[in-house]
Amino acid sequence: MTTSPSARLHQSTSAVLASPGLIRLISEIDDHGAIPERGLARTLGDLSTHQIRQATEHADILGLLDRSYAGLGLTTAGQDLADVYDATARWARRHDYPAPVGDFAGRIRHTFALLHKPTPTEPRSADNEADPELAHVRELLTQWGDTHQPQQDRGAYGVAA
């Protein structure tokens, strides 16, 4: 079975969305409001300077950050992604995934990875039905990607190189 270009694009974006630095940056702004750019290292003290730089670059590329006099805030895409992160973490906590004890970013990373595995590995209910809550998380992630993912430039002959 081959993966469609759209699905491959969603998978590559999912890998970026699952980076610990980006998860921390978006979640911190969502939970506490705008962060002054000079305060990033202090606010995200558990991340290296490189991780913070990489997270802000990815967030800028994906159109997640709103830069104002107050600092770095979230655009609509950033707020929607924070909602996806929250729904993902809620599902993971409720199902002790990947373990009974875990951190917010780790739960999101592992759940996003689970979403890209073939269906038989997904958690199932007692009657062997796929978890509808996990399907909802997958749907939220897909909707976010369809709505906010940067579109590739198309020329007269298809996608530009």
Q: What pTM was computed for the model?
A: 0.81
Structural domain includes residue 23: yes
Residue type, 46: D
Give the domain extent around 19: 5-75
Q: How many CA atoms lie within 13 A of 83 on its CB side?
A: 14
What is the C-alpha separation between 40 and 109, in angstroms, rounded?
22
Tokens of 116: 């890209």
- Considering the domain boundaries, does residue 119 fall inside one? yes
Q: Are 75 and 65 in contact (CB under 8 A)?
A: yes
Give the CATH number, domain containing residue 27.
1.10.10
* Residue that is last in its domain, among 75, 105, 125: 75
The verdict on 9 and 71 lying in the same domain is: yes
Helices (H), 48-95: 49-61, 76-94
Same domain, 130 and 113: yes
Q: Would 158 be classed as within a structural domain?
A: no
In a domain, 44, yes or no: yes
Query: Is 65 contained in some domain?
Result: yes
**Domain end marker among 58, 75, 92:** 75
Give me the count of residues in the chain: 161
Tell me if 157 is assigned to some domain. no
Residue 56, in any domain of the structure: yes
Can you give the pLDDT of all 161 residues of the chain as single tens digits? 445 545 555 667 778 999 999 999 999 999 999 999 999 999 999 999 999 999 999 999 999 999 999 999 999 999 999 999 999 999 999 999 999 998 999 999 999 999 887 654 555 554 445 688 899 999 999 899 889 876 443 344 444 43
Number of domains in the chain: 2
